[in-house]
Amino acid sequence: MIGTAHDIMSQVTPPHALFVDHPVGRTFGPPHDRARNQAVLARALEELPKFTRSGEIRDPGLQWLSDGSRIWEDELRAEMRQDH
Amino acid sequence: MPFQYLPVMAQNSAPKPPRVLVSPTKPAWCPIKKPLSESRVALLSSAALRLAHQEPFIPREDFNYRRVPSDPSAGELIIDHHSGIGRVPKQDPEIVFPRTALANLHKRGDVGSLAPFHFSFMGGLRDHGKIENELAPAIANDLKQAQVDLALLVPY
């Protein structure tokens, strides 16, 4: 599994969980950025041979913003509110 | 610290009770046996994805799945999932279903081969027993038929 919701993945214990620290719905990057889609997928797949047990969540260090800031979280909360 | 989705989901769904998360009754684990460069890979998506000419999914409790050709030139992808989060990925489904990226990794030799089809179904289904006893085994059977070594699930 390659997912963005660390808290959910930690509860449902998939056999191999790769965490991408992006907003939900943008697992492989922003729309129409094929280079980034490929870079995220390739980086995540590099982690596969490192799994040793079920329920382990591996974090390859992929961040949404290059400076590591988390300003996107407020936008995501607003977006999720509109979902309801 | 990673973004915490469960509290936001619970807050947004109030006064309805929070969603119940259920782990499989038979947890699956197997070590990765082959290098990626020798593995046949398929994508699994819970975005209710399909090609334009395929039958639409019916929100919210559609327990069918679609076989989506792994060849990116096979046609435009449509997301039928009802989540409002879909406003962004509906502009470009490849950001939740990296069909082109995976095909490119195959072309450059990182991935051994592609299954002829990837698979998509409706995420957020409430009947967990039906998922575990009907939907998942049906997809697993297709994966076996296609001799897939590695199935990559991307939750929506």
Contacts of B105 in chain A (CB under 8 A): 38, 41-42, 45
Q: Is residue B18 part of a domain?
A: no
Quick check: is B91 in a domain? yes
Number of domains in chain B: 1
Chain B: residue whose CA lies nearest to A23: B3
Query: What percent of chain B stands above pLDDT 90?
Result: 78
What gap in Å lies between CA B74 and CA B6, rounded to an integer? 36
Chain B contact for A65, CB < 8 A?
no
Q: A48 and B85 in contact by Cβ < 8 A?
A: no
Nearest-angstrom CA–CA distance, A18 and A2: 5
Domain annotation covers residue B8:
no
Listed residue (B105, B99, B113) closest to B41, CA to CA: B113
- Tell me the pLDDT tens digit for each residue of B4-51: 999 999 998 888 888 888 888 887 888 898 999 999 999 999 999 999
Residue B63 lies in a domain: yes
B128: its two tokens = 């967990």
**CA B98, chain centre distance (Å):** 11
Q: What is the pLDDT of residues B65-93, one digit of tens each?
A: 999 999 999 999 999 998 878 889 999 99
Cβ pair A32, A17 in contact under 8 A = no
Q: Report chain A residues whose CB lies below 8 A from the CB of B150.
A: 48
Kindly calculate the radius of gyration of chain B based on its CA atoms and give it in whole angstroms. 16
pLDDT number for residue A83: 63
pLDDT for position B18: 83
Contact A26 B96 (CB under 8 A): yes
What string of pLDDT tens digits covers the 84 residues of chain A?
999 999 999 998 899 999 999 999 999 999 999 999 999 999 999 999 999 998 899 999 999 999 999 999 999 999 888 765
| ipTM (interface pTM) | 0.95
Q: Which residues of A touch B31 (CB under 8 A)?
A: 51
Q: pLDDT exceeding 70 applies to what percent of chain B?
A: 100
B124 is a domain residue: yes
**pLDDT for res B26:** 81
Range of the domain at B82: 33-154
Q: Is residue B7 part of a domain?
A: no
Cβ atoms of residues A20 and A1 within 8 Å: no
According to the model, what pLDDT value does residue B8 have?
A: 93
Task: Judge whether B21 lies within some domain.
Answer: no
Q: What per-residue confidence (pLDDT) applies to B96?
A: 98
pLDDT value, residue B60: 85
pTM: 0.95
In order of A47, B64, B66, B115, B122, the CA distances from B80 in angstroms are 31, 13, 12, 23, 8
